[in-house]
Chains A and B, each alone.
Chain A
Amino acid sequence: MRPDPDTGCGVTGRGAAVEQLLATRGRHLMQAAIALAGSRSDGEDLLQAALERLLLNYRRVGSDAEGYLRRTLYNLAADGWRRRGVARRWRPLIAVPERGVDGTDAIDIRDALVRLLAQLPPRQRAVVVLRYWEQLSEAETAAILGCSAGSVKSAASRGMSRLRELADDRLPKLPIPPSSV
């Protein structure tokens, strides 16, 4: 057991295992969490909520910690994790907004699309991220979210068409990055 530099408390065996998991897969998981939650701060909260569950159930999870964490992350997001408290949605409104972000300049269409993703309902958002970013099949996505492949297919289709609508409405003038043309 080694001490935590912040708290001085010891790191348990499962804590060390989770830290190792985050060291290798943390960036990927955090990107998924931010895409699912819509912002960096909410993404951190979402990933932390998933980590809490992993730590609470670590003994039962066994060797598939990463699989459990991913399933939990996506299911928390798909089940409207943020809906647990409406008050929660109020408070971030007055949180200090990011500075220096101006929609009229320097917004890359790719970044704008990720923001538009937050306009989708949580389940569609989770399906879109799993299908088109994680590049999982419909069956694999369905297995993670605990639903049928048909539901995944329709959610992915509706999600992408909604995203396309939003993009057509709101992004026509943004520059297309050179790498994608």
Chain B
Amino acid sequence: MDIDLEDLLRQGIDRLPAEVPAGFTHRAARAARRHHLVTSAVVAAAAATVTAAAVVIGLLSVAPTASKPAGGEAAPSARPAQTASKPAATGVAPSARPAPTQHLPQLPSWPPGRVAQATLVSRVEQAVLTSPNFIAYTRRYDYVDRSKLIVSAWDYRNMHLLIQDDPPSAQLITYYPQRHTVKFVDYQQRTWWVTNWPFNGQVSTDKNQCVGPADDSPQVGDPRWPAWLVSSLRCGAYTVTSHSGANGTPILNIVNTPKDVEYQYGVRLHMLVDATTFLPIADWQTGSDGYYDVITWLPPTKALLAKLALPVPPGFSHG
């Protein structure tokens, strides 16, 4: 391109439709009030906690004995419960759309253990890079008790299927070298459509960052995710911090390090890796925006591949 890029960019931004929606200030004011109330409540709760702790310490100091808590286990509240509530009924026939799976496998606890070197990182890389031999199925929950299923994802090669219950909809993204297509099915409105996008949103790597811009980081299950994880591991954005186990399966617990671009924003990402297959089986992020992913690696059977086609139920209109 030998044209003046700056002028074109300037004209492009000038052309953005940018009317401020009605009630915008009021929404911001309401949010600010909520923020103020939450902050006040947190401060009050912290003060109450400090007071209560002082009282408990005072009582313990005069008690003849004090029971010792069980060591090695994380606090119960820090560990997600192993049940999930059933998503709300949507009034759509079960056969009309793919349903999120409800069953949760037994998941390991992750007590702090011996910290070891991440010598197995290369084997994790090898495992995730051969992931096209599998379909990765991911369920993403709100953090802590996994009471709310946010979205389910089915992924195979260049296909990325997302299913959600509220509102009932599904979206299949198919990536090609210079474009990607989005097939969207709205089960509530009984419509569907396909959109083409000219760019595939490849994760770019900036030489000053460990991996590409966090804004563009693919999610677990996104076809671009294995390559992204490998590049994160290679540059030290994750490290193995402990070993644990579940039902006889050894588990590696890995977390992000200061080299990860998310780390500087206070984001702590944890991942569990099956030490026999070296495939990630769970990951989670703590905090108010926390989530919990359960990752299952499945063989690409005909039935699963048919699900990835995102069939449109009869009678739905093309939007």
Contact check, B213 vs A111: say whether CB atoms are below 8 A apart. no
Residue from B9, B35, B182, B206 in contact with A133 in the complex, judged by beta carbons closer than 8 Å: B9
Contact check, A22 vs B25: say whether CB atoms are below 8 A apart. yes
Residue from B1, B14, B28 in contact with A55 in the complex, judged by beta carbons closer than 8 Å: B28
Decide if the interface of chain B is mainly helix, strand, loop or mixed. mixed
Contact check, B15 vs A111: say whether CB atoms are below 8 A apart. yes
Contact check, B5 vs A84: say whether CB atoms are below 8 A apart. no
A62 within 8 A of B: no
Give the bracket for the number of chain B residues in contact with chain A.
35 or more
Decide if the interface of chain A is mainly helix, strand, loop or mixed. helix
CA gap between A86 and B151 in the complex, in Å? 14
CA gap between A120 and B203 in the complex, in Å? 10
A30 within 8 A of B: yes
- Among A15, A31, A83, A111: residue with most chain B CB under 10 A: A83
Chain B residues with CB under 8 A of A15? 25-26, 29
Question: Given A6-B23, A87-B140 in contact, is the A34-B196 Cβ separation under 8 Å?
Answer: no
Chain A residues with CB under 8 A of B265? 79-80, 83-84
A9 within 8 A of B: yes
Which of chain A's residues has its CB closest to B141's CB? A87
Question: Given A113-B12, A164-B1 in contact, is the A84-B219 Cβ separation under 8 Å?
Answer: no
- Interface members, chain A 97-144 (any B CB < 8 Å): 97-99, 101-104, 107-122, 128-129, 132-133, 135
A9 to chain B, nearest CB (A): 7
Instruction: Identify the B interface with A (CB < 8 A).
Output: 1, 3-29, 31-32, 35-36, 140, 142, 150-151, 162, 164, 169, 171, 173, 178-179, 182, 184, 186, 193, 195-199, 201, 204, 206, 209, 213-217, 219, 261-262, 265, 267, 269, 285, 287-291, 319
If A52-B31, A97-B182, A108-B15 are given as contacts, then 18 extra A-B residue pairs at C-beta distance below 8 Å, sorted by A number, are A4-B26, A27-B19, A44-B24, A48-B31, A51-B25, A55-B28, A55-B29, A56-B32, A83-B265, A86-B289, A86-B291, A96-B184, A99-B319, A110-B15, A167-B5, A171-B1, A172-B1, A177-B8
24 inter-chain pairs at a CB distance below 8 angstroms, sorted by A residue, are: A4-B26, A7-B23, A15-B25, A15-B26, A27-B18, A34-B16, A35-B16, A48-B24, A51-B32, A52-B31, A83-B214, A85-B289, A86-B217, A87-B291, A93-B162, A94-B164, A97-B182, A107-B198, A114-B13, A119-B201, A119-B216, A133-B13, A135-B10, A171-B1
